[in-house]
Amino acid sequence: MAAQDMTWTRENPRGWRDFMIEQCLVGDAWSGADDGSTLDVNDPSTGDRLGTAPKMGRAETARAVDRAQQAFRTYSAMPAAERGALMMKLHGLMIENQAALGELLCREMGKPLAEAKGEIAYGAAFVKWFAEEARRVYGDMIPSPWADKRIMVTHAPVGVVGAITPWNFPNAMIARKLGAALGAGCTMVCKPASATPYSAIAMAKLVEEAGFPAGTFSVVTGSAREIAAELCENPLVRKITFTGSTEVGKELASNALRHMKKVSMELGGNAPFIVFDDADLDAAVDGAIASKFRNAGQTCVCANRLFVQAGVHDAFVEKLVAAVEKLKVGRGYDEGVTQGPLIDRAAVEKVQEHVSDMVAGGATVLTGGEAAGGTFYRPTVVTGARPGMKVFAEETFGPVAPVFRFSTEAEAIAMANDTPFGLASYFYTRDLGRAFRVMEALEYGIVGVNSGIISTEVAPFGGVKDSGMGSEGSKYGLDDYMVRKYALIGGLAG
Ligand SMILES: NC(=O)C1=CN([C@@H]2O[C@H](COP(=O)(O)OP(=O)(O)OC[C@H]3O[C@@H](n4cnc5c(N)ncnc54)[C@H](OP(=O)(O)O)[C@@H]3O)[C@@H](O)[C@H]2O)C=CC1
Ligand SMILES: O=C(O)[C@H](O)CS(=O)(=O)O
């Protein structure tokens, strides 16, 4: 549907179809691709076509960047309080339309409706957080070594931001970046994942309705390589922010740095989930379910390897299997479903490859371990997993919990750190000394201690090593969207 077709009132709120816009907002123009080409968007639950999105490329991206630069001059000059007020209008529109945006997200990505609506609230929380942080971009006056000079430090928005985002959180991964960009005074051109364009386009619609200057936020769907090349090579773009696989992130970062742009990367993970003998087992099982099976295991912070100390191994595994067997697999928009489909059949094949590799290596499937038709995969628990298996080194990105047995704390830390990734990690203990020892020893950007959920807008989300660079959210989240200027004020002699 075209953007202009929408008519709604507060008494007659919009539904998800009202936000399923098959055009992109490039500057202030809603349009298709210059050559009219489109890409199909499918319902991951059924494989049926949901709709289309424009298949754009460099020309459309260049126009969006030009408009973003024009908008930047106006938007960055607004007082922070004024920008914050616009951001709070955007926040309000997201919350007011949470049900419709959530169902749209559920339809295009597949996650259960409750999770999808929760993602809208999570994304909106970043917009609100940075609406408030916008007014706390402070500077410094540094004591001068010269009596007749003063030293002043200020911060300014970096400029036009190019964003490329993944399919697994098609609203929140945009809102987490857009919130920081708008809070800093930047403008943005975003290329969402081709599998999930509609949530991004819906955000562009809400930014337009909130009253931001035209061109503040453009969405360009289509050829990833072409659009990314324009964003990395166009001198008007001053920063690239990316969430997705490490492989693509490294390619993007090297091209962006070749053109001397700021870069922030939220990449893949390989999270350890360690259960010590002294853990609260029921809490550990709850945390494992929350961390491993959220979004059907398709998050970069999902527990990817479960390490359980020998003294509690059998009791933990028994409780975990019982909890996993309560999960309900189905289409995200069907009642009571807690495990939606994987994004596509290739994802199912990769998950099966990991399970088959473990079984071939002598591991035992205690529950699940097979596809459930189409893009569905049964929630799975495997014991007897060992280092050297694919699942130890690769991110599964699916609902499979491989359990590794260990004996000592040192052994658990060594296995946990034996990976090039460093995003999220988790462990359960009731020993305070162990909590600090292990938290300090884990080589990760995020550590969940006695918690399987670590996602909040108030904390710095980010990885180390091959999991990326930069922090999203928190009081640190604006840093990557600002540049620092130092002024030496002379000529002050009396
Ligand atoms: N650290 C974090 O917060 C997160 C990390 N991830 C990681 O991402 C992976 C899964 O997400 P997935 O979407 O498949 O990741 P991808 O890296 O394949 O895709 C992410 C985005 O990059 C685009 N893209 C793909 N190839 C290129 C390219 N050569 N140049 C420029 N852009 C490109 C995609 O466009 P298109 O869709 O058109 O191909 C999409 O918009 C997992 O490894 C997961 O861990 C995912 C989410 C969050
Ligand atoms: O894309 C992801 O996996 C998200 O970063 C996970 S979270 O922010 O929802 O924890």
pLDDT digits (tens, 9 = 90+) for 43-65: 999 999 999 999 999 999 999 99
Give, using CA atoms, the residue closest to atom 8 of ligand 2: 455
Q: Is 446 in the pocket of ligand 2 (CB under 6 A)?
A: no
Residue 490 lies in a domain: no
Residue 72 lies in a domain: yes
Q: Are residues 260 and 290 located together in one domain of the fold?
A: no
pLDDT at position 11, please?
Answer: 73
Residue 155 lies in a domain: yes
Residue 5 lies in a domain: no
Residue 456 lies in a domain: no
Q: Are residues 189 and 308 located together in one domain of the fold?
A: no
Tell me the per-residue pLDDT of 407-434, one tens digit each, with 9 for 90 and over: 999 999 999 999 999 999 999 999 999 9
Give, using CA atoms, the residue closest to atom 35 of ligand 1: 193
Q: Is 168 in the pocket of ligand 2 (CB under 6 A)?
A: yes
Q: Are residues 214 and 279 located together in one domain of the fold?
A: no
What confidence category does residue 399 fall into, taking pLDDT thresholds of 50, 70 and 90?
very high
Say how many Å lie between the CA of residue 61 and the centre of ligand 2.
27
Mean pLDDT of the 238-265 span? 98
Give, using CA atoms, the residue closest to atom 33 of ligand 1: 224
Q: Are residues 53 and 89 located together in one domain of the fold?
A: yes
Complex prediction ipTM: 0.93
Which atom, in ligand 1's list, is nearest to the CA of 267?
Answer: 1
Q: Are residues 296 and 441 located together in one domain of the fold?
A: yes
Tell me, yes or no, if 11 is annotated catalytic: no
Q: Are residues 262 and 291 located together in one domain of the fold?
A: no
Residue 217 lies in a domain: yes
Q: Is 301 in the pocket of ligand 2 (CB under 6 A)?
A: yes
Q: Are residues 474 and 391 located together in one domain of the fold?
A: no
Domain of residue 225 covers: 16-267+468-485
Residues in the chain: 494
Residue 137 lies in a domain: yes
Number of domains composing the chain: 2
Q: Which of 266, 395, 457, 472 is catalytic?
A: 266
What confidence category does residue 440 fall into, taking pLDDT thresholds of 50, 70 and 90?
very high
Q: Is 144 in the pocket of ligand 1 (CB under 6 A)?
A: no
Say how many Å lie between the CA of residue 430 and the centre of ligand 1.
37
Q: Are residues 232 and 370 located together in one domain of the fold?
A: no
Give, using CA atoms, the residue closest to atom 11 of ligand 1: 244
Statement: residue 174 has pLDDT above 60: yes
For the entire predicted model, the pTM comes to 0.96
Q: Is 474 in the pocket of ligand 2 (CB under 6 A)?
A: no
Q: Residue 303 is part of a domain; what is its CATH number?
A: 3.40.309.10
Query: Cα(350)–Cα(311) distance, rounded to whole angstroms?
Result: 32
Residue 218 lies in a domain: yes
Q: Is 248 in the pocket of ligand 1 (CB under 6 A)?
A: yes
Mean pLDDT of the 3-7 span? 60
Q: Are residues 283 and 366 located together in one domain of the fold?
A: yes
Say how many Å lie between the CA of residue 348 and the centre of ligand 2.
20
Q: Are residues 259 and 322 located together in one domain of the fold?
A: no
Query: Cα(183)–Cα(199) distance, rounded to whole angstroms?
Result: 21
Q: Is 72 in the pocket of ligand 2 (CB under 6 A)?
A: no
pLDDT at position 13, please?
Answer: 83
Say how many Å lie between the CA of residue 166 and the centre of ligand 1.
5
Q: Are residues 376 and 276 located together in one domain of the fold?
A: yes
Q: Residue 108 is part of a domain; what is its CATH number?
A: 3.40.605.10
pLDDT at position 12, please?
Answer: 77
pLDDT at position 494, please?
Answer: 83
Say how many Å lie between the CA of residue 456 and the centre of ligand 2.
10
Q: Are residues 250 and 280 located together in one domain of the fold?
A: no
